[in-house]
A = this chain, B = another copy of it.
Amino acid sequence: MRGIVPQKVKGFRDITPRQNILRQLIIDRATEIYRRFGFSRFDTPILEYAECLGKYLPDADSVAQGVYSFKNPEQEPIFDTNGKELRDAENRVLMENHYVAMRYDLTAPLARVYAESLWQQHLRGEIQGKTNLFRRYQYGPVYRFEAKLDPGRFREFWQMDFDTVGAEDVSADAENCMILSQALENIGLKRGSYLIKINNRKVVNGLLAFSGITDKEQEMAVMRVIDKLDKIGIDAVANELGKGRVDDVSGAQIPGLGLSNNDVDTIIQFIKDFEKHSSRIEVINKLKSKPAFENSTYKEGVEELEKIDNILRDLGYNEEVAILDPGMVRGLGYYTGPIYEVESLQTYKDEKGRERRVGSICGGGRYDGLVENLLGVKVPATGASIGVDRLAELLTLTGQAPESFDGPAIIIVFDDELMPLYQKTAMQLRQAGIDTEIYYGAKRGLKHQMAYADKNNCPVAIIIGGDEAQKGVASVKNLKLGKELANSIADKNEWKSKVQKEVELSKLADEIKAMLAQ
Tell me the A residues contacting B by CB distance below 8 Å: 1-10, 12-17, 20-21, 24, 35-49, 51-52, 65, 68-74, 76, 78-83, 86, 100, 102, 111-113, 115-116, 119, 129-133, 135-136, 141, 143, 145, 147, 156, 164, 166-169, 171-172, 174-175, 310-311, 314-315, 374-375, 380, 407-408, 410, 416, 419-420, 423-424, 427, 430, 433, 435-443, 452, 456
**Across-interface contacts of A39 in B (CB, < 8 A):** 437
Of B40, B164, B420, B442, the contact of A130 (CB 8 Å cutoff)? B442
Task: A140 to B410: give the CA distance in the assembly, Å.
Answer: 27
A135 touching B38 by the CB < 8 A rule? Answer: no
Q: Which among B6, B72, B171 is the interface contact of A375 at CB below 8 angstroms?
A: B6
Check B4–A51 contact: CB distance below 8 A: yes
When the two chains form their complex, are residues A3 and B43 in contact, meaning their CB atoms are under 8 A apart?
A: no
Find out whether the CB atom of A420 lies under 8 angstroms from the CB atom of B314.
Answer: yes
New A-B pairs, 17, CB < 8 Å, besides A1-B81, A166-B441, A315-B424: A2-B86, A3-B81, A3-B82, A4-B52, A6-B52, A8-B45, A14-B113, A38-B408, A38-B435, A38-B436, A38-B437, A46-B102, A74-B145, A132-B441, A167-B440, A175-B438, A314-B423
A401 to chain B, nearest CB (A): 16
Determine the distance from Cα of A3 to Cα of B12 in the docked complex, in whole angstroms: 34
* Chain B residue with the shortest CB-CB distance to A77: B5
Partner of A443, one of B81, B132, B375: B132
Q: A14-B113, A442-B166 are in contact. Are A78 and B2 (CB under 8 A)?
A: yes
Q: Please, which residue of chain B has its CB at the minimum distance from the CB of A311?
A: B423
Identical chains bound together, number: 2
Partner of A20, one of B38, B42, B443, B452: B42
CB distance from A3 to the nearest CB of B (A): 3
Q: Is the CB of A435 within 8 A of B36?
A: yes
Once bound together, how far apart are the Cα atoms of A82 and B3, in whole Å? Answer: 7
Q: Is the CB of B9 within 8 A of A310?
A: no
Check if B14 sits within 8 Å of A171, measured CB to CB: no
Cβ contact within 8 Å between A42 and B14 = yes
Closest to A78 in B: B2
- Sampled A-B contacts (30; CB under 8 Å): A5-B119, A6-B52, A6-B111, A7-B119, A9-B47, A9-B72, A14-B44, A14-B45, A17-B41, A20-B42, A36-B408, A36-B430, A36-B433, A36-B435, A36-B436, A38-B435, A45-B156, A46-B46, A74-B147, A131-B442, A131-B443, A132-B441, A132-B443, A132-B452, A133-B443, A166-B441, A169-B419, A171-B423, A315-B423, A315-B427
